[in-house]
């Protein structure tokens, strides 16, 4: 009690003002830091949403996602491939997909200069785009620009790529490994480790 009494008697008005200013500075710093954290979280969410929107906006990515979703379906020939064929559509199925994703030395169609038909090229190009996208996603997560939770909607795509059951195509992982899309396999593992699928 004496200490408190002595403390109040020994402080001048200037000391009280200085103490109040210090307290206000600390409070202001805490408030600013909290605002900074909220802004960073908002920016990260905005960045993740923009990154996810590419799955709908980029033609190759959108097609690759649709190809993952369907077992047997007729698709229109993408505009960028119409110069390769007079066909307006192609039939997608697992057999055609599996043939297209064979390694170069096992190319399925000897009648074409590179060993692949125009349909095979569509498959290879669209899935190369998807696996590049997944690698970029993993890069963003590794560099803490976004979190796996921020892009959780791609868990569905990763499950399809992994091919976990008999209803899904299971040849993507060998293709990914053959053509060194290591970021895609890291991303699958990251989502498994975080139990996002």
Q: Does residue 6 belong to any structural domain of this protein?
A: no
Please count the residues of the chain. Answer: 197
Residue 32 — very low, low, confident or very high, per pLDDT cuts 50/70/90?
A: confident
Structure tokens at 152: 């959780």
Nearest to 171 by CA among 181, 158, 157, 161: 161
pLDDT tens, residue by residue, 64-90: 999 998 989 999 999 999 998 999 999
Which uninterrupted H or E stretch holds 90? strand 89-92
For residue 24, being part of any structural domain is answered with no
Which residue, 102, 93, 47, is CA-closest to 67? 93
- Structural domain contains residue 107: yes
Q: Is the pTM of this model over 0.75?
A: yes
Question: How far is 114 from 156, CA to CA, in rounded Å?
Answer: 33
Residue 116 lies in a domain: yes
| Distance separating alpha carbons of residues 181 and 168, to the nearest angstrom | 20
Does pLDDT of 100 surpass 80? yes
Q: Residue 92 in 3-state DSSP?
A: strand
3-state helix, strand, coil in the chain (%, to 5): 70, 5, 25
Tokens of 84: 């390769």
Burial of 19-53, coded b for 16+ CB within 10 Å and e otherwise, reads eeeeeeeeeeeeeeeeeeeeeeeeebeeebeebbe
Structural contact between residues 92 and 72, judged by C-beta atoms closer than 8 angstroms: yes
CA-CA distance, 194 to 176, in Å (whole number)?
A: 22
Side-chain-facing half-sphere of 34: CA atoms under 13 Å? 6
Residue 20 lies in a domain: no
Q: Considering its fold, how many domains does the chain have in total?
A: 1
Residue 109 has pLDDT above 70, yes or no: no
Residue 89: give the domain boundaries. Answer: 42-193
Cα dihedral 157, 163, 167, 170 sign: positive
- pLDDT number for residue 105: 63
In a domain? residue 159: yes
pLDDT at site 188: 95
Residue 7 has pLDDT above 60, yes or no: no
């Amino acid at each position: 009690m004496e200490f408190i009494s002595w403390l109040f008697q020994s402080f001048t008005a200037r000391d009280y003002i200085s103490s109040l200013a210090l307290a206000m500075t600390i409070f202001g710093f805490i408030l600013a830091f909290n605002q900074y954290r909220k802004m960073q979280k908002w920016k990260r969410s905005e960045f993740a949403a923009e990154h996810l929107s590419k799955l709908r906006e980029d033609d190759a990515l959108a097609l690759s996602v649709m190809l993952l979703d369907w077992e047997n379906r007729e698709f229109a020939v993408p505009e960028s491939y119409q110069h390769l064929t007079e066909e307006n559509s192609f039939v997608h199925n697992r057999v055609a997909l599996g043939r297209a994703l064979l390694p170069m030395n096992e190319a399925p169609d000897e009648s074409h200069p590179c060993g692949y038909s125009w349909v095979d090229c569509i498959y290879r190009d669209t899935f190369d785009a998807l696996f590049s996208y997944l690698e970029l996603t993993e890069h963003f997560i590794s560099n803490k620009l976004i979190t796996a939770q921020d892009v959780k909607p791609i868990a569905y795509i990763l499950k399809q790529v992994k091919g976990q059951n008999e209803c899904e195509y299971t040849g993507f992982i060998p293709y990914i490994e053959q053509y060194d899309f290591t970021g895609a396999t890291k991303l699958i593992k990251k989502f498994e480790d975080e139990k996002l699928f």
